[in-house]
Structure formats: structure tokens, C-alpha cells
């Protein structure tokens, strides 16, 4: 063999990570998209490779960074990323009654939304019926009121559950709303195994940051685990938990804290599922995450890249997962509601666009973009459509989808990725030293860190150290902003009448029997999803089901400040 013809072994050793990836992982993945013949070019006609990597690559490149679709997934969880399939444009919506929210969902679907995300009002989130004294003044205010199976049927009327994925931002009452969804699907002739979507079902973050918990921490964790167990066995296409950093960030956490506390919560859920007897590779591929896209573009991109790498490391080294899908951190992103301002509201469009760009450059699997008027009220339909158009422009006009992980390899981004990962890991190790996520949450450890960060951030804004356009710099006398969307004042009374009429028409004996069965099951250890589903199908309301749980478990009391 001549010197100009290296042997196969030498040739393989000489391959760069990019050459190897193009010849194997990417090539195999593109077979699924063989019908797509387009060539990716810039506006000047310059052809683009699917991905770029350093040449020569560092010796530890494959292990530390890797290529898209390969562990540790720093560069993305799919080999083709947006070249093969765009992210799901999942616009979050819900207000007033089921009928009104259903109309908004249909409008969003007509405008190109590819997945629905349901916002529930506070009584639904905590588990009170509209006619409960605890619900007064809150029905339909920050989301849709859903108290009964009839409400859920109305909400999803005309929406084919075998074709549209449904995400539900619901936590304390997740087991009830999932049961509503299953019952409606069955009436449509759709089996639970065919359902696609997500139920948030993340109780740790409620105790840490959001505050819609009703039951104590440990019973709440039982319900989370019941849903994970049930979905693992009966709903293989459904995500039974969306481990949420979004609300942690909205409460005032830094990017590092958002990442650390979110992954710590995920570790807590994985451990709970293992303690239940589930095999890690049976449920881990369906775990999903939910992050915030904040203002600092490069820090946010680095945060998303660090999150994937750190989660792959945790799942492999701590939990012994062997299925590559168990190592994948798949996530939904929402732009940062806390950054939206009531002054100069049109500037919010710029903020949302920048945040959405960070999510896309960071490799999100689905995205919600906030409306320009959300600092004032629930978004108007016009604002909701504009928010969707923002995603569509990024997807189809900006060129950011043509190359996978386009910022990968930047010394700045790689350094930020490494530093965010290291600092987040250090925080996770402190939680481990406290006895794990459950013990840390009960002791108030994450809560105290977030409160300090929130205070520090507000102090910097008030001092002018951090500039907020239109608030502490570049102010304008734009007058009182117009309210573009208003709720019907009679909406709450209609919700009360609806739930009372529903109760009057049901079989009370069947409801009573189902609730008694639930009370008995709460004292045992069997999975509660089938029991709650039976209550829902018998006609029990969300308030009645949660009242039985509270009677058994009591309510949550926050830890005293240290």
C-alpha cells in the first residue's frame, strides 16, 4: 500500500468529530427526511453545512461537547435539529370559561400553532370549585376555569386529541386534570396510549417558587410519582412531568440557580420513581423540562447547552441509565414574563423576540412567546397572534434554523457553558449534602437563595445599575396604556351556575361511592390515577376530589424563615 493510500484504521483515526458525525449519526437521521431535498444556503447563495466543529478538535471533544444527537447532547438532542423538524410552536392560553378558551385555541390553530398549552385559573390550580368561598374573585382570571368533566369536554370540543398534543400547566391538581383529559379522550375514541402532550405535575417548584401547593410536600410527591408511574405503563407517548425552571426564574433566581434547582428537582423525581420500583430506562425518556428564556442572550444559550450536558451526566453517572434517550434533556421554553413592562409596551415585542432567539439558538423543543400586553392583562387575540408570528419569522426568515448549534465553538459561549455547568453542579452538591431535594425544599434552602437573588436584582434596577428601557432609562410620557383585553364581569357567576347545574344532573350515589373509594385508597399505597379517573367519570368535581385529599393529608405550612 502506497503512502498516499492510508489504511482503513489510520483513516478512521484521522476523522474529525464532524466527519465521523456526518458519515454516521447525521446520515442515519436524514434518512427519515429523505423527501426533503432543499439545500441550505444564505441569502447570498452560500451553501451551509448542517453543523460546524473545531478542526482540530480537542482530545476530549466527543466526551465533553460531542455532536448533535449524541451524548452528552451539549449541541442538541436530535442529530438534524431544526433542519429535520422545527420546534413546536406551543402558545399558552386560557381564560374565563371553557367556551371562550376553546374559541381562542381554535383561532391559534388556524393561525399555525402546532400544539396547545392550557393555562388554568387559580381555583383550578389549587382545587376549588367556582362556588367555593376560597375561589371568590379568582374564577377565570389568570386562566380557564375547569371544575368538571363537562368543562373539560367543552374546552377540548372540536380538537382531535389523536392529532394535537396538549400541554397542561397544572401541578397540585395534575392528577385530576390528567384524569379529565383521559376521560375526554376516551369519549372521542382515543385511548390513553395514543395521547401526546405534557402535564406539568412539578410540585417541588411550587414549594420553591410559585406557591399553588395545597397538600404537604410528601403527599404531593406521592401524587407526582403516581402520575409518572401510570403514564409509564399506560401512556408511552405522554410526558408525565415537566420539570420547571421557568417559575423559579420568574421568582427571581439567576440563570445558574434556575438550572441547579430545576435539575435538583428532576433528581428528586427520578429517585422517587426508582423508590417506587420503576426501572430508570422505563420512565426517564419521557421526562421533560421547562425553562425560562431571559434577556441576556449568550448566557441563556449557554444555560440551555449546560443543562443538556449536566443532565446526561447525572442520569448516566448517578442513576446508571443506559438508554441514550434517558440521558436526553428535552425542554419547552417560555419567554420571560417578569421582564415585560407596562410602560412602552411595544418594546416588549423586542424583548420577546430576543428571548425567543435565545431559546432557538439554545436548541429548545417547543416554545411559547409572550404577548406584548401581558404586563397589563391577559393577552389580546391580536397580541397572541403577533407573538406566534414572532416565532414564525424566526423559523422561516432569519436563517437561524439552517445550522445546528450555530454558536457552538465560540470561545465565549463554550466558556459560559462550562462555568454555568460548574456553578450549577456545586449548588446541586449542596442540596445533596442537605439530604436531597425533598429535605432541601422542606428546609427552605432553594427558597432562601431565590429570595436573596430577587432582592439583589430589584436593588440594581432601582439604583440604575441595571438598565431597563422605559423604566429607569429612556422613559417617555406615553400616558396610560390602553387595556386591549377585558374579562366579562359576569363570567364568575356563569361558572358558578354551570358547576351547580352539573351537580344537580349527576348520579349522586355513584359520585359518593367513587369518593369513598378514593378516601380508602388514600390510606393505602396503590396508584391513585385509576381511582381519581373513576371519580371523574362518575361526575365528581375537582373541589370534591381535592377536599378528600386534604381531609387525609392536611395542608402545607411553609417553613419558618431562619
Residue 117 has φ and ψ, to the nearest 5°, of -130, 120
In a domain, 561, yes or no: no
Contact 88, 365 (CB under 8 A): yes
In a domain, 164, yes or no: yes
Residue 245 shares a structural domain with residue 388: yes
Contact 298, 413 (CB under 8 A): yes
Residue 39 shares a structural domain with residue 121: no
Residue 272 shares a structural domain with residue 340: yes
Provide the pairing of β-strand 238-239 with 197-199: parallel
Residue 58 shares a structural domain with residue 130: no
Closest CA to 472 of 460, 462, 480, 482: 462
Beta-sheet strands, E only, within 217-281:
238-239, 242-244
In a domain, 503, yes or no: no
Closest CA to 388 of 161, 42, 85, 116: 116
Q: Which of 436, 464, 487 is the last residue of a domain?
A: 436
Residue 54 shares a structural domain with residue 149: no
Residue 345 shares a structural domain with residue 416: yes
> What pLDDT sits at residue 377?
82
Q: Is the dihedral of CA 435, 436, 439, 441 positive or negative?
A: positive
Total tally of structural domains belonging to the chain:
2
Measured distance CA(69)–CA(344) in Å, rounded = 42
Residue 36 shares a structural domain with residue 94: no
In a domain, 374, yes or no: yes
Measured distance CA(479)–CA(314) in Å, rounded = 51
| Residue with grid cell 432567539, as numbered in its chain | 357
Residue 288 shares a structural domain with residue 370: yes
Measured distance CA(53)–CA(58) in Å, rounded = 10
Measured distance CA(460)–CA(458) in Å, rounded = 5
In a domain, 108, yes or no: yes
Measured distance CA(114)–CA(77) in Å, rounded = 20
Residue 284 shares a structural domain with residue 248: yes
In a domain, 99, yes or no: yes
What is the DSSP secondary-structure string of 111-137?
A: TT--EEEEEB-HHHHHT--TTSGGGTT
Residue 115 shares a structural domain with residue 34: no
Contact 301, 361 (CB under 8 A): yes
Residues, the chain, total? Answer: 562
First to last CA, the chain: 75
Residues forming beta bridges with residue 120, ordered by sequence position: 144
28, three cell numbers? 442515519
Measured distance CA(254)–CA(209) in Å, rounded = 13
In a domain, 299, yes or no: yes
Contact 40, 277 (CB under 8 A): no
401, three cell numbers? 434554523
Residues forming beta bridges with residue 243, ordered by sequence position: 289
Contact 288, 198 (CB under 8 A): yes
DSSP reduced 3-state for 330: coil
> What pLDDT sits at residue 11?
44
Measured distance CA(58)–CA(38) in Å, rounded = 32
Measured distance CA(202)–CA(224) in Å, rounded = 7
Could you tell me which residues come within 8 angstroms of residue 301 by beta carbon, excluding any fewer than 6 positions away?
Answer: 358, 361, 362, 407, 413, 416
Provide the pairing of β-strand 366-368 with 88-93: parallel
64, three cell numbers? 465533553
Residue 254: which CATH number?
A: 3.20.20.240
Residue 203 shares a structural domain with residue 336: yes
Closest CA to 113 of 95, 90, 92, 93: 90
Contact 212, 126 (CB under 8 A): yes
> What pLDDT sits at residue 481?
65
Per-residue pLDDT of the chain (562 residues; tens, 9 = 90+): 334 344 444 444 558 999 999 999 998 888 766 555 567 999 999 999 999 999 999 999 999 999 999 999 999 999 999 999 999 998 788 888 899 899 989 988 998 887 888 999 999 999 999 999 999 999 998 899 999 999 999 999 999 999 999 999 999 999 999 999 999 999 999 999 999 999 999 999 999 999 999 999 999 999 999 999 999 999 999 999 999 999 999 999 999 999 999 999 999 999 999 999 999 999 999 999 999 999 999 999 999 999 999 999 999 999 999 999 999 999 999 999 999 999 999 999 999 999 999 999 999 999 999 999 999 887 888 999 999 999 999 999 999 999 999 999 999 999 999 999 999 999 999 999 999 999 999 999 999 999 999 999 999 999 999 999 999 999 987 655 666 666 677 889 999 999 999 999 999 999 999 999 999 999 999 999 999 999 999 999 999 999 999 999 999 877 665 5
Domain that holds residue 41: 14-64
In a domain, 384, yes or no: yes
Measured distance CA(82)–CA(79) in Å, rounded = 9
Residue 301 shares a structural domain with residue 430: yes
CB count within 10 Å of CB 455 equals 11
> What pLDDT sits at residue 322?
97
pTM of the model: 0.93
| Residue with grid cell 392536611, as numbered in its chain | 554
> What pLDDT sits at residue 14?
58
Measured distance CA(357)–CA(297) in Å, rounded = 8
CA distances from 35 to 31, 51, 138 (A): 9, 20, 50
Amino acid at each position: 500500500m502506497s503512502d498516499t493510500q492510508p489504511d482503513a484504521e489510520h483513516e478512521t483515526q484521522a476523522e474529525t468529530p464532524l466527519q465521523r458525525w456526518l458519515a454516521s449519526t447525521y446520515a442515519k437521521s436524514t434518512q427519515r427526511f429523505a423527501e426533503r431535498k432543499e439545500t441550505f444556503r444564505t441569502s447570498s447563495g452560500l451553501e451551509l453545512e448542517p453543523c460546524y466543529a473545531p478542526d482540530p478538535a480537542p482530545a476530549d471533544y466527543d466526551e465533553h461537547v460531542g455532536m448533535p444527537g449524541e451524548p452528552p447532547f451539549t449541541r442538541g438532542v436530535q442529530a438534524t435539529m431544526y433542519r429535520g423538524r422545527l420546534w413546536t410552536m406551543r402558545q399558552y392560553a386560557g381564560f374565563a370559561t371553557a367556551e371562550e378558551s376553546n374559541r381562542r385555541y381554535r383561532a391559534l390553530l388556524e393561525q399555525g400553532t402546532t400544539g396547545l398549552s392550557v393555562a388554568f385559573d387559580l381555583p383550578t390550580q389549587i382545587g376549588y370549585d367556582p362556588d367555593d368561598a376560597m375561589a371568590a374573585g379568582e374564577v377565570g382570571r389568570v386562566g380557564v376555569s375547569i371544575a368538571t368533566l363537562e368543562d373539560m369536554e367543552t374546552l377540548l370540543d372540536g380538537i382531535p386529541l389523536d392529532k394535537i398534543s396538549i400541554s397542561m400547566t397544572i401541578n397540585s391538581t395534575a392528577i385530576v386534570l390528567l384524569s379529565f383529559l383521559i376521560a375526554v379522550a376516551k369519549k372521542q375514541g382515543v385511548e390513553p396510549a395514543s395521547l401526546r402532550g405534557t402535564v406539568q405535575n412539578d410540585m417541588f417548584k411550587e414549594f420553591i417558587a410559585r406557591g399553588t401547593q395545597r397538600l404537604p410536600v410528601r403527599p404531593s410527591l406521592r401524587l407526582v410519582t403516581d402520575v409518572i408511574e401510570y403514564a409509564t405503563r399506560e401512556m408511552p407517548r405522554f410526558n408525565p412531568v415537566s420539570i420547571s425552571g421557568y417559575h423559579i426564574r420568574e421568582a427571581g433566581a439567576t440563570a445558574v440557580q434556575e438550572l441547579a434547582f430545576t435539575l435538583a428537582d428532576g433528581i428528586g423525581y427520578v429517585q422517587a420513581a426508582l423508590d417506587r420500583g420503576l426501572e430508570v430506562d422505563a420512565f426517564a425518556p419521557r421526562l421533560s423540562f421547562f425553562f425560562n428564556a431571559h434577556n441576556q442572550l449568550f448566557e441563556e444559550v449557554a444555560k440551555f447547552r449546560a443543562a443538556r450536558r449536566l443532565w446526561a451526566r447525572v442520569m448516566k453517572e448517578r442513576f446508571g441509565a443506559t438508554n441514550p434517550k434517558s440521558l436526553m434533556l428535552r425542554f419547552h421554553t417560555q419567554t420571560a414574563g417578569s421582564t415585560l413592562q407596562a410602560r412602552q409596551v411595544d418594546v416588549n415585542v423586542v424583548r420577546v423576540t430576543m428571548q425567543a432567539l435565545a431559546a432557538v439558538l439554545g436548541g429548545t423543543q417547543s416554545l411559547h412567546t409572550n404577548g406584548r400586553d401581558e404586563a397589563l392583562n391577559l393577552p389580546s387575540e391580536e397580541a397572541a397572534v403577533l407573538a406566534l408570528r414572532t416565532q414564525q419569522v424566526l423559523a422561516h426568515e432569519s436563517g437561524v434554523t439552517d445550522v445546528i448549534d450555530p454558536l457552538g465553538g465560540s470561545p465565549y459561549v463554550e466558556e459560559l457553558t462550562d462555568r454555568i455547568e460548574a456553578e450549577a453542579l456545586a449548588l446541586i452538591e449542596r442540596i445533596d449534602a442537605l439530604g436531597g431535594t425533598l429535605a432541601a425544599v422542606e428546609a427552605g434552602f432553594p427558597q432562601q437563595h431565590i429570595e436573596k437573588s430577587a432582592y439583589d436584582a430589584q436593588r440594581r434596577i432601582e439604583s440604575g445599575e441595571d438598565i431597563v428601557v422605559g423604566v429607569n432609562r429612556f422613559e417617555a410620557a406615553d400616558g396610560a396604556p390602553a387595556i386591549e383585553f377585558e374579562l366579562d364581569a359576569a363570567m364568575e357567576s356563569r361558572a358558578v351556575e354551570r358547576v351547580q347545574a352539573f351537580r344537580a344532573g349527576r348520579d349522586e350515589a355513584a359520585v359518593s361511592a367513587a369518593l369513598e373509594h378514593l378516601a380508602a385508597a388514600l390510606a393505602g399505597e396503590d396508584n391513585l390515577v385509576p381511582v381519581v379517573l373513576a371519580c371523574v367519570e362518575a361526575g365528581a368535581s375537582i373541589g370534591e376530589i381535592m377536599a378528600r385529599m386534604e381531609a387525609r393529608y392536611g395542608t402545607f405550612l411553609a417553613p419558618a424563615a431562619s
